[in-house]
Structure 1
Amino acid sequence: MRVTFLGTGGAVPTTERGPSALLVERDGERLLFDCGEGTQRQMMRFGTGFAVSHVFVTHLHGDHVLGIPGLIQTLDFNGREEPLALYGPPGSKPHLRSLIEAGGYRPEFPITINELRPDTVALDAAAYEVRTFETDHRNASSVGYALIEADRRGRFDRERAEELGVPVGPKFGTLHDGEAVELDDGTVVRPEDVVGDPRPGRRFVYTGDTRPADATVTVAEEPDLLVHDATFDNEWAERARRTGHATGREAAEIAARAGAKRLGLVHASSRYAGDASPIERDAASAAAGGTEVFLPDDGHTVEVPYPDEA
């Protein structure tokens, strides 16, 4: 799983940071979370490609959605035929439709729009799901998203299988798939004899703009990567409260409660143009010992390993 931060700035873009957008690539599938102004150019600039299958919108403020019209039209100009699914919070469907059809435009490829309440499975795929959770942003219907992979099969113990007399070949795969096999002498070897315990998948959580929220803590147990609103440093904590945002310190406190392995700080206010390090310092001072804290620039890419491979 690879996460590319396409836009890491706040409501007002700067020369260094664009509005909110983040792309997750998982086993060749690309999921876009928020789509601020200029997202399509950031996708070209940072080489993610346009082969996005799902777009998840946290809320309808302009710095999170104004890139949708341009992206849709570029996809259409490039001859896209595959369907695209958009997801948004309650009440977002007509507004997302207006963005898709800005200026009377009618894309030729199919687009579906899904309104989602908190604590809803937005996307139920074979190996993972994307679930919404409640966030708290001023004057906005908003949700966050958690990508939670299913447990993987345990490791196959080839040496043990050979000790039990299982011949090298198809019976190995049968056992790893969870089915018992019978040997030539009538002995039955069961999967639990040669396959270890299930291994956890990866967990990625993206809040969008929000105050610290309990649902961020409970939506995914010990996320491998939590990307959280950190618009201000602690000196501006009162402004963060009044505008429905979080500080770096508050984001770190949520990460500590959630047991997050890594914390990415995004949505840095334009007041930090050129130097957002105060936000990161505040977060680092409040972070739990096992949490890696980082404040990404636009274009920053991180790999999210499986928990047993980290």
Structure 2
Amino acid sequence: MDIFFLGTGAGIPAKLRNVTSIALKLLEERGSIWLFDAGEATQHQILHTSIKPRRIEKIFITHLHGDHIYGLPGLLASRSFQGGESEVIVYGPKGLKEYITTSLSVSQTYLKYPLKIVEIDEGVIFEDDQFIVDARLLDHGIPSYGYRIVEKDRPGTLLADKLVEAGVQPGPVFRKIKEGETVMLDDGTVIVPSDFLGPDQKGRIVTILGDTRFCESAIGLARDADLLIHEATFSKGEEKLAFDYFHSTTHQAAEVAKLAGSKQLCLTHISSRYDRQAWQELVVEAQEIFANTDIAEDFKEINIPNQ
């Protein structure tokens, strides 16, 4: 599981930071990529990476401000031109369906793959045997959601040596045990998975927030997260400006991470008023409250290791 930042700026594209888009790479887990927001030129940013648009399975839109959605119609169209055939599901606030369907209709864009658009409310918006995605409204000028992606606990390591000692040879039985299936051998011996698996591997939690003021919903979404990605449009001391524009400061992002018990914080949605030299100062500000803080940059990748 890896986070890859395609765009990390606020408001408008800048030379050092494109507007928001974040890829959650789940290549080992499910052979796919989930995208969070698609600001203008997201598909251009992808061209400079190893990301294949055809692997994009789901797209989660936090809110409908242009710097988070202007790249979406082009990305959807290009995925079709580049041979993508599998279904894509796009999740986001009310109004998203009209935006996408109108853009594709007016431009007479035909997609060669199924596209499903889900306009969400608060609560669990997706669940399968691997992941749960929970969405909560934040505090922004328009409806803006944060997403909590929870990986379900995975079976522990197969104790192969112990199975061999019990008379089980490598093969289909090993696979069944790994999948948690009780097996009866030819001699009547019953092999119970719990006896031949190590402790369950705890699933990882990633929280990706849309634009927001400091709020309780952000803290709830970030509870015990392995990685919290929180906007920090402004530096400390600019709390009034942040409040007026429905955004957060470095200190406020760090306070959310601290109160939520997150393990790691990464600041993003950085205003272009801060040049490259100032970025480290923003990190230091946040570290005054939450030590394990980093700052996103375009094309930065963060690995989230197994527990």
- Residue pair 1:134, 1:213 contacting (<8 A) in 2 also: no
SS of the counterpart of 1:235? coil
Pick aligned residue for 1:261 from 248, 254, 263: 263
Pick aligned residue for 1:46 from 35, 45, 49: 49
- Matches for 1:1-310 after TM superposition, within 5 Å: 1-27=1-27, 28-51=31-54, 52-101=56-105, 103-109=106-112, 110-121=114-125, 123-138=126-141, 140-162=142-164, 165-170=166-171, 171-182=173-184, 187-219=189-221, 221-274=223-276, 275-287=278-290, 292-307=292-307
SS of the counterpart of 1:305? coil
SS of the counterpart of 2:146? strand
Question: Number of residues paired by the alignment?
Answer: 300
Q: Distance in 2 between matches of 1:120 and 1:67?
A: 26
Letter in 2 for 1:197: P
Gaps of 5+ in 1: none
Gaps of 5+ in 2: none
- Residue pair 2:159, 2:196 contacting (<8 A) in 1 also: yes
Q: Distance in 1 between matches of 2:51 and 2:101?
A: 25
Following superposition, the deviation at residue 185 of structure 1 comes to: 6.4
The alignment-based identity, stated in percent, is: 33
Following superposition, the deviation at residue 128 of structure 1 comes to: 1.4
Give the alignment's Cα RMSD to 1 decimal.
2.2
Q: Distance in 1 between matches of 2:169 and 2:40?
A: 56
Following superposition, the deviation at residue 87 of structure 1 comes to: 1.1
Following superposition, the deviation at residue 48 of structure 1 comes to: 1.8
- Residue pair 1:148, 1:220 contacting (<8 A) in 2 also: no
Q: Distance in 2 between matches of 1:32 and 1:224?
A: 18
SS of the counterpart of 1:120? strand
Task: Encode CA deviations 1:146-205: one digit per residue, 9 max, x unaligned.
Answer: 221111002233344455x34333444443333444567655443232323322112111
- Residue pair 1:8, 1:268 contacting (<8 A) in 2 also: yes
Letter in 2 for 1:296: A
- Residue pair 1:91, 1:141 contacting (<8 A) in 2 also: no
| TM norm structure 2 | 0.89
- Residue pair 1:72, 1:107 contacting (<8 A) in 2 also: no
Q: Distance in 2 between matches of 1:134 and 1:261?
A: 22
